[in-house]
Amino acid sequence: MAATKKTNKELVINGILLENPIFRLALSMCPAVGLTTSVKNGLLLGSAVLFVQICSSCTIAAIKNIIHPRIRIPTYTLTIATWVTVIDLILAAYVPAAYKEMGIFVKLIVAFAIITMRLETFACKNTISASFWDGLGMGIGFMFGMVSIGFVRELLGAGTILGYDVLGFKPLLFFVLPAAGFFCVGIMMALFNYIEVVYNRFKEREQ
């Protein structure tokens, strides 16, 4: 694949909608299931992933010409691990309470498939600025997925949004249970599929 011909705006939109990491590519499902009981968690982990994705994409794009192809995967892993250590220490120092709640997930960003996959398919073939925009799109897409699942679960489970009481009652307490993460993600994926089916039917009818 040659360097991308998409504009910056298209790259960002591609990450958020067409190739949304959670709903379309179905990568990095662990935090989407385990850490989405509230919108706040989704926002925090989403911004951590955004940071790591942008930084490692730019780093790899900058040094792509001096990486030997046979050791590229270990190089990617170590680059990501370095940036994860940076964000891990920053979060531990500045937001200790929220960091404790997220627990091991911040360190596990290293193993999130989405970041390695973007480095492998995009950053190693494109310029630094294109990689920046692609990383931004992917990071925001991930954050969007996390926040939307967190929104549904927090609203239905606890009747609150970002800790503020909006409903005044708890419609479905089941949704804050850890196991409900699986149901919620499954149902939202089906919803995305349904929207796609309806959209395609609509398009056919127009032609």
Partner 1 sequence: MRSMIQRYAFRLTLLLPAFLLFVTGCNVEHPFIKKIAFKDSLSIIIEFAGEPDPDWATDPGNYSVYEKRDPDVHLAISKVILGPDKKTVLIRFGEEINQAEPHVVVLTPIHSQGKDLGSAILNVKRLHIGELFAILIGAMLISNYVFTKYLGLCVFFGTSKKRDTAVGMGITFTIVMVASAMMSWFLYQFILKPFELDFLQVVVFIGMVSLSVQAVDTVLRKVNPALFKAFGVYLVLVIANCIILAVPLTLANNEYSAMESLMLALGAGTGFLLALFLMSSARERLELADIPPTYRGLPIAFVTAGLFALAFMGFSGLVIF
Q: Of 18, 26, 63, 162, which lies in the binding site for partner 1, with binding defined by CB under 8 A?
A: 26
81: contact with partner 1 by CB under 8 A: yes
Contact in structure between 64 and 72 (CB atoms under 8 Å): no
Our CB check for partner 1 shows the closer of 110 and 147 to be: 110
Q: Is 126 in the site for partner 1 (CB under 8 A)?
A: no
Asked if 89 and 22 count as a contact pair (C-beta separation under 8 A), the reply is no
* Closer CB to partner 1, 12 or 33, in the complex: 33
CA–CA gap between residue 46 and residue 51 (Å, rounded): 9
Of 29 and 49, which has the nearer Cβ to partner 1? 29
C-alpha distance across the termini of the chain, in Å: 32
Count of chain residues binding partner 1 (CB under 8 A): 41
- CA–CA dist 20, 95 (Å, integer): 28
Q: Which of 58, 108, 128, 172 binds partner 1 (CB under 8 A)?
A: 108
Rule CB under 8 A: say whether 58 interacts with partner 1: no
> Where are the extended beta strands (E) located within the chain?
160-161, 164-165
Q: Of residues 166-185, which lie at the interface with partner 1 (CB under 8 A)?
A: 177-183, 185
Tokens of 44: 């925090």
